[in-house]
Amino acid sequence: MFSSSLKRRFAATLAVSATTLGMVTFTSAPAQAAAICGGNVSIYGTLPDGRLTYTAIAPNTGDRVKTLIGANLGFTPKAMATLNFNTVLVTSTAGELYRVDIQTNDSALALAGVTKIWDSGWTFDKLTYDGAGHLYGTVAGQLHRYNVSQAKPSGPAHIAKHAVIDTGFVLKTLAAAGDDVLIASTADGRLLSYQINGVGDWESSELKSSGWSAVDNLVSPGGGLYYGRTNGGMYWYHDADPTDGKGDDIAYHPADPVDASGWTQSLLSAFANDCTYQPPAPPPPPPPPRAGRSPAARS
């Protein structure tokens, strides 16, 4: 049975002191809503020793609410993708695929179980889930896609329709920003966006031409919110319109990071598509012209 906090995904955000990983919480004035989210942004990760972590971040301010450390997964993780608030897929360095079930992430991070659902072949260097039924992975510059048909998949019957989208995806980081929409950074510092339509059918946009070479992990809950780790610190970004393929409207908060240091996880993955894009409100219509009196009435 899952905890009440996992069931109440739409409850109000609570400020909780963070005492793990040596992280420091920064407080700032509330900002205008960056996206519509189901609650706090949820980010799972693994430490170098194989322990699972969970971090909640307030989406409107970028403040970290809490970080919890759970048990060792029992294998050496290589790549991970968060399917939903209590299910994470993790591959091992031996090419196995595991489903990690979360029992609670309230005041402690406890696991309901770690189940091997694939014995071999999962050699991806990066893995991400778009929150809309599509699991993506890269290996040797190829982008692969699977369809995920269950919230808690148990094997090939639920992770199927494997397709190689194309080659040329030599990326430093990879995250899903929406339904078949990926964002990635490259070793030479570019930030890219991809719209995947099918095998050999995709479009790319350069959001930033430089400045992202130090980002070694990138995650997104959707809604134009991006979180990038740089030199152990976590920084947050808001793309005012993540659908336009442009990066000149991406707001960066260098003076107000999630944390300036302490993010030592080897892998990170956000609960994808938990936030949705909030278009800016259209300007109000101009007021109607004031009725005036006729010249005869003024004489």
Domain holding 252: CATH number? 2.115.10.10
Q: Provide φ and ψ at 157, rounded to 5°.
A: -65, -25
pLDDT given at position 197: 97
In whole angstroms, give the CA distance from residue 15 to residue 63: 9
Q: Which two tokens stand for residue 277?
A: 């894009």
Work out the percent of the chain whose per-residue pLDDT is above 90.
77
pLDDT given at position 291: 66
Model confidence band, residue 281 (pLDDT cutoffs 50, 70, 90): confident
In whole angstroms, give the CA distance from residue 171 to residue 189: 10
Structural domain including 124 reads: 4-298
pLDDT given at position 297: 52
Q: What is the pLDDT of residues 221-265, one digit of tens each?
A: 999 999 999 999 999 999 999 988 999 999 999 999 999 999 999
Contact 65, 57 (CB under 8 A): yes
Q: Which two tokens stand for residue 132?
A: 């809309």
pLDDT given at position 87: 98
Work out the percent of the chain whose per-residue pLDDT is above 70.
85
In whole angstroms, give the CA distance from residue 37 to residue 41: 7
In whole angstroms, give the CA distance from residue 81 to residue 117: 14
In whole angstroms, give the CA distance from residue 189 to residue 186: 5
Q: What is the pLDDT of residues 178-201, one digit of tens each?
A: 999 999 999 999 999 999 999 999
Q: What is the pLDDT of residues 32-88, one digit of tens each?
A: 446 899 899 999 999 999 999 999 999 999 999 999 999 999 999 999 999 999 999
Task: List all residues 6 or more positions away from 295 whose beta carbon is below 8 Å from its beta carbon.
Answer: none
**What's the whole-model pTM score?**
0.83
Which of 137-141, 215-219, 273-277 is least confident? 273-277
pLDDT given at position 10: 32
Cβ neighbour number for residue 164 with a 10 Å cutoff: 12
pLDDT given at position 275: 93
Mean pLDDT on 22-39? 52
pLDDT at 29 over 50: no
In whole angstroms, give the CA distance from residue 109 to residue 288: 58
Model confidence band, residue 292 (pLDDT cutoffs 50, 70, 90): low
pLDDT given at position 102: 98
Mean pLDDT on 15-25? 34
In whole angstroms, give the CA distance from residue 165 to residue 77: 25
Model confidence band, residue 22 (pLDDT cutoffs 50, 70, 90): very low
Q: How many domains in the chain?
A: 1
pLDDT given at position 125: 97
Nearest CA-CA partner of 270 in 111, 143, 84, 109: 84
pLDDT at 171 over 80: yes
Mean pLDDT on 209-220? 97
pLDDT at 299 over 80: no
Contact 259, 280 (CB under 8 A): no
How many residues are recorded in the chain? 299
Nearest CA-CA partner of 126 in 114, 149, 143, 151: 143
Model confidence band, residue 21 (pLDDT cutoffs 50, 70, 90): very low
Model confidence band, residue 294 (pLDDT cutoffs 50, 70, 90): low
pLDDT given at position 198: 97
